[in-house]
Amino acid sequence: MKHPMFLFVTCSFFLSVLGCAGEAKKSSSEPASTPQLAQTEGGKDQPPSGEVQERAVPPRMAPGVTAPLPTRPIQPVATPPPPLLPGEFALEAWAGSGVVTTGVVSAPGTPYYITAVNRGCQRDDAFHTNAAQVGFRERFKLVVVGNGQFTIQTARVCYVRSWTTNIPPFRTVGVVQSDVITIGDTTKFKLLQQPDSGTYAIQTVSGYYLGLYRNSSGTFSFTTDRSVIGPGDKFKLIWCDPLS
């Protein structure tokens, strides 16, 4: 009676050992499961499963339609220089060193031309009035500045300017220079055509006129204090061939 009992106990022992081994094998073959909270946090920035993530694709243009060009910032336009009257001019004195006077009638004599000493850019002794021929120093350009006004530009690209000063008690002295390189009020003039022989008076912004006067030494000087237009305040504009 002891043998059957022994066999029963032995078989039960082996069956329990085999069962434990099977459970251990099954546990080692399965991957460890991730906690639910970790799965939720790890997939927060990921797209849901089963959805297709779209990429930015430029829209297709219809046939024959081109894409618009990219806009460019507007560049400031450079201010153009003031326009010049074509050509160069000499200022011929209607009256001057060669004036012919008969009684009260004045008539032009030998023509003389205004000379810009050193072709301009002079403060003192800026102009002479006894040139009998037109050279480079006697050539000027007229620059249009608007409102019927001009500036007179010398060969060295300086501008003629005029100003007056009062000397007590009642004397007005005019000064004409050619030493500025920018256009201002003192460089602006008006050309007033005269009814005789196509001459012009050159009027300043202060209302005076450029003109010639006989100084104490007997020669003529260029001034800007003439308040009334006389024979010495009239000039002809003589066009000069730029190739000559």
> Tens digits of per-residue pLDDT, 193-232?
988 668 899 999 989 999 987 777 777 788 888 889 988 8
CATH of 88-240, one of 2.80.10.50, 2.60.40.1890, 3.30.360.10, 3.40.50.2000: 2.80.10.50
Cα separations in angstroms, 184 against 114, 115, 145, 164, 188:
22, 22, 10, 15, 7
Q: Where are the domains of the chain?
A: 88-240
Query: In sequence order, what are the beta bridge partners of 102?
Result: 105
Binning pLDDT at 50, 70 and 90, where does residue 151 land?
very high
Which of 111, 108, 116, 107 lies closest to 133, judged by CA? 111
- Token pair, residue 140, equals 């000027």
Backbone torsion region of residue 74, taken as left when φ is above 0, otherwise alpha when ψ lies between -120 and 50, otherwise beta: beta
Q: Give the mean pLDDT of the chain.
A: 73
Most confident among 15-24, 107-116, 225-234 (mean pLDDT) = 225-234
pLDDT, residue 82, reads 62
- 119 neighbors 84 (Cβ within 8 angstroms): no
Cα angle value 45/49/51 (rounded, 5°): 95
pTM: 0.60
Q: Is the dihedral of CA 88, 94, 99, 100 positive or negative?
A: positive
- 232 neighbors 220 (Cβ within 8 angstroms): yes
pLDDT, residue 138, reads 95
- DSSP label at residue 140: B
Q: Is residue 98 predicted with pLDDT exceeding 50?
A: no
- 96 neighbors 77 (Cβ within 8 angstroms): no
- 146 neighbors 189 (Cβ within 8 angstroms): no
pLDDT average, residue stretch 10-17: 49
Q: Is residue 65 predicted with pLDDT exceeding 80?
A: no
Which of 144, 134, 133 lies closest to 188, judged by CA? 144
Cα 102 to its chain centre, rounded Å, is 56
pLDDT, residue 149, reads 94
pLDDT average, residue stretch 58-63: 62
Cα separations in angstroms, 167 against 76, 171, 174, 207:
48, 5, 11, 18
